[in-house]
Structure 1
Amino acid sequence: MSFKNLNLIEPIQRALVTEGYTIPTPIQEQAIPIVLQGQDLIGCAQTGTGKTAAFAIPILQILHEKRKLRNEPSRIKALIVTPTRELAIQIGESFSSYGRHTGLTHTVVFGGVSQYQQTLALKRGVDILIATPGRLLDLVNQKFINLRQIDIFVLDEADRMLDMGFIHDVKRIIAIIPKERQTLFFSATMPPAITKLASSILTDPARVEVTPQASTADIIDQSLYYVDKGSKNGLLLHLLTGENVTSALIFTRTKHGADKVVRILDKNGVTAEAIHGNKSQNARQGALERFKNRKIKALVATDIAARGIDIDELSHVINFELPNVPETYVHRIGRTGRAGHEGQAISFCDAEERAFLKDIEKLIGKSIPVVKDHPYASSSPAPAAAFARGGFRGIGKPRAGEERRSSPDERRRGHQDGRGPSRSSRPDDRGSERRSSNR
């Protein structure tokens, strides 16, 4: 099967050739014909399966064909709602790539930046609008956006939308778009709340599920390191200074934890930046671009800020802290091993995270191989005690026989930057991420 077999119009075929696309992914192969027929669709697909093209390509074709028939001026005919700024921008880039020869226009609206340039684009008229929920509703209320003539509605990353507290915003959006429309619904997982939402907004939908919800790509080499909490920084630096790690996306549970990891890496000569909800839009995009261009080796992120990150040939994903929601593990490691490339997923597990590990292995249906031969192996299944001095600056203590003496200055500092998260750090940053991501 090639894209030539999907009955795509010449302008899109030409754009796909420019992009180097020849063979559609499974979700593209199955979803594109369904969407072109005008049918509602539920797509259950994990990160990295090519689902953006699965809806962007047929939307561009449908709107291009309608424009030829009607010869009408630009108006918002397709609305794509997605939870984060980064994902909205990437979807916009996809529409630019696939639609470069169609003459269709699009724009992206999201919070965290001035709305001035966004409203200018809207005043000029657009065919396709990609938006995060908060800014979309703000601009609707200000009369910059009229959704009464929408033909196609896409709800992307529905499960993350629910996690981030956008369910009420989504319902408000649905209430103001036409009831007669084509609806495309995409979600990596289908918990009961998402199934209920889908059933309320779709009409006789086709269902495409190309990957089991709990599976992890076979091409991803997973490994597990048991390590005391106080030694995680040392283990991370030990791995990042090895020859095999060319780029690493590192996950922490909190924004505070992400910033702390970056400070430790920078002090020890590993170029790193953090992305999370407290960073400005320009800072987040700048860090992402520098990571993609290999100007920095490590990008440290919280789950919500990282949703939608698409990086070619990412060599490693490192779970500095295991997620407390097992499905999140699948989403995280799915950012490596894309497009046929090999990928490594490394997870650290301290004594307090053993329960999280058990849930993850139950979900994926197998045990993650354990690496025992490393200098920071956990000394005890009990929670780590006070952080031991020694090792790299602010890092932790290697096991017996591999310790170096710390300097008097280091002992006086007490390795403040190497300790675990402070008591004041929030256990879950979803609330603040939601406020800063889209408003």
Structure 2
Amino acid sequence: MTAATFADLGLSPELVRACGEAGFALPSPVQREAIPPVLRERDVLGLAPTGSGKTAAFALPLLQRLLEGRAFAFRRVRVLVLVPTRELAMQVGEVFRVLGGATERRPKVSVLHGGVSVNPQMMALRGGADVVVATPGRLLDVLDRNAVRLDAVETLVLDEADRLLDLGFAAERERVLAALPARRQNLLFSATFPPEVQALAELLLRDPVRIEAATQESAAPDIHQRAIAVDAPRRTELLRHLVQQGGWKRVLVFVATRHATEQVARKLRERGVPAAALHGEMSQGQRTDVLAGFKEGRWEVLLTTDLAARGIHIPALEVVVNYDLPRSADDYVHRIGRTGRAGAAGVAISFTTAATEAHFRLIEKRHAMALPREQVPGFEPTEDAPPLRADAGTGGIKGRRPSKKDKLRAAAATAGKREGEDAS
């Protein structure tokens, strides 16, 4: 059967033209499935791989509905997109701006995120906005300052919905939901939906259309996955060896901590490999500059925490390396999904050590895969696995521990609950 075109899906000629200018020749599987029900104002639960075109899958039909709707002198927020990270907020906002900017009406898009002063973002909201893309914390800052109203929102989008539905965002999420109209369209998109968030997703959705493009062979990204056994102290030298031997010019490396990003990046630079660190304690200006340098080729290797596991699109990213394994098996999918995007092929390498081998087997089991353990000549492992502790349930790697921010959110939520009980 001939693949549907964007026009076949019901998009207007100017949005079809915008797709062509943006380089979208034909709709991806998730776009083919999502655009028609979003246009019909149905709730949608969309499961699709990273890099499969999820953002355009909801941005295009929502832009169409904005263009078809009545124009107001004062722009009311009709579309709210919540995202978990600053980088994803900027990226989603750019998709709306590029596609909407090619239309005659040019809907106004405002992006709200932390790491920068709130004042310019509030100034940009003067006169209202048609679309607001925001991280929950900054959106609440702006709401508390009465710089935006959400009582006219027609559609709520949770992008990377599994992250927004976990406990770390619970207090912020509930405050945002309380500011929205009860009657609205809800769109939830993610590459993974762990069982623990499925029930919460069901509470938000009304008779949703379920999209599982991730199960379609045509939607699966072309990622060659490898597992290399190595002693923990030799991972940095092995990483340098692989980069130089492979002639890789763009490698994204995930490590566990902020300190590790800077330490490994420094050691690579000392050995002649252009490398930089990216982590959440950097200012937004620093983060933006580092990412720009990586995309422009100033850095061959970017060391990062899970900050970069979601939402960051890096064109022509050749290789992703799990220097440290992710604590969550679901985060493995998000990490490796930074490569093999938009039809390109990619490579994902995981370093396994004696201490983390059992945890990687759990990741393999969760994703129904089995990778042979490779050994690189000169880097053969010699370490023995540590004794299994009585409380160790994840093969030497702790479970998904809450971050400092998660703990603060949980404490705030508990305090709020107590205040409510005292008031009653």
Question: How would you bin the TM-score normalised by the shorter chain?
Answer: 0.7 to 0.9
Separation (CA, whole Å) in 1 of partners of 2:167 and 2:282: 17
Residue in structure 2 matched with residue 405 of structure 1 by the alignment:
none
In the TM superposition, residue 428 of structure 1 has moved relative to its aligned partner by 5.6
Asked if 1:334 is matched to 2:307, the reply is no
CA distance in 2 between counterparts of 1:189 and 1:364 reads 11
Q: CA deviation at 1:96?
A: 1.1
Match of 1:352 in 2: 355
- Report the alpha carbon displacement of residue 193 of structure 1 after superposing the two structures with TM: 3.4
Partner of 2:418: none
Q: How does 1:9-408 map to 2 (within 5 A)?
A: 9-67=12-70, 72-102=73-103, 103-163=106-166, 165-212=168-215, 217=220, 219-382=222-385
Equivalents in 1 of 2:7, 2:325: separation in Å? 43
The CA distance in 2 between the partners of 1:324 and 1:7, in whole Å, is 42
SS at match of 2:245: coil
- Counterpart CA distance in 2 for 1:47 and 1:368 is 21
Alpha-carbon distance in 2 for matches of 1:169, 1:197: 15
Residues 89 and 31 (structure 1 numbering): CA distance in 2 closer, same or farther, change over 3 Å? same
Determine the structure 2 residue equivalent to 1:431: 404
Shift of 1:206: 0.8
How many Å separate the matches in 2 of 1:151 and 1:238?
Answer: 53
In terms of mean alpha carbon deviation, does 72-81 or 26-35 score higher? 72-81
Displacement of 1:190 = 2.1
Q: Which amino acid aligns with 1:430?
A: S
The one-letter amino acid paired with 2:60 is I
Corresponding letter in the other structure for 1:352: A
Determine the C-alpha separation between the residues in 1 that align with 2:166 and 2:268. Answer: 30
Mapped contact 2:213–2:219 kept (Cα < 8 A):
no
Q: CA deviation at 1:430?
A: 2.8
Instruction: Quote how far apart the aligned CAs of 1:72 are.
Output: 5.0
**CA distance in 2 between partners of 1:43 and 1:246 (Å):** 33
Matched residues in 1 for 2:18 and 2:214: separation? 27
The DSSP-based 3-state class of the residue aligned with 1:190 is coil
Cα shift at 1:171: 1.4
Q: Which amino acid aligns with 2:94?
A: E
Contact 2:221-2:345 at 8 Å conserved across structures = no
The separation in 2 between residues aligned to 1:184 and 1:242, in whole angstroms, is 44
Q: Does the CA contact (< 8 Å) of 2:232 and 2:353 recur in 1?
A: yes
Q: Distance in 2 between matches of 1:282 and 1:98?
A: 26
Q: State whether residues 261 and 300 of structure 1, in contact with CA within 8 Å, keep that contact through their aligned partners in structure 2.
A: yes
Partner of 2:414: none
Q: SS where residue 83 of structure 1 aligns? A: coil
Superposed displacement of residue 320, structure 1? 0.4
- Percent identity over the alignment is 42
Residues 27, 239 of structure 1: alpha-carbon distance in 2 compared, 3 angstrom cutoff:
same
Deviation of residue 342 (structure 1)?
1.2
Cα distance between partner residues in 1 of 2:259 and 2:402: 9
Q: Is 2-11 or 250-259 further displaced after alignment?
A: 2-11
Unaligned runs of 5+ in 1: 385-426
Q: CA deviation at 1:71?
A: 5.0
Bigger drift between 300-309 and 112-121 goes to 300-309
AA aligned opposite 1:370: R
Task: Tell me the SS of whatever aligns to 1:345.
Answer: strand
Secondary structure at 2:226 match in 1: strand
Distance 1:255 1:162, change over 3 A: farther
Contact map agreement 1:12 1:98 (CA 8 A) in 2 = yes
Cα RMSD of the aligned pairs, angstroms, is 2.2
Q: Report which stretch shifted further, 297-306 or 347-356.
A: 297-306
Deviation (angstroms), 1:4? 2.7
Structure 2 CA distance for aligned equivalents of residues 432 and 169 of structure 1: 12
Q: How much has 1:431 moved relative to structure 2? A: 2.5
**Distance 1:173-1:352 versus aligned 2 partners, 3 A rule:** same
Q: How many residues align?
A: 391
2:186 is matched by which residue type in structure 1?
Answer: T
Q: TM-score under structure 1 normalisation?
A: 0.84
Where structure 2 has 5 or more consecutive residues not aligned to the other structure, the ranges are 388-399, 410-424
Structure 1 residue 179: deviation in Å? 0.9
Does the residue aligned with 1:17 lie in a helix, a strand or coil?
helix
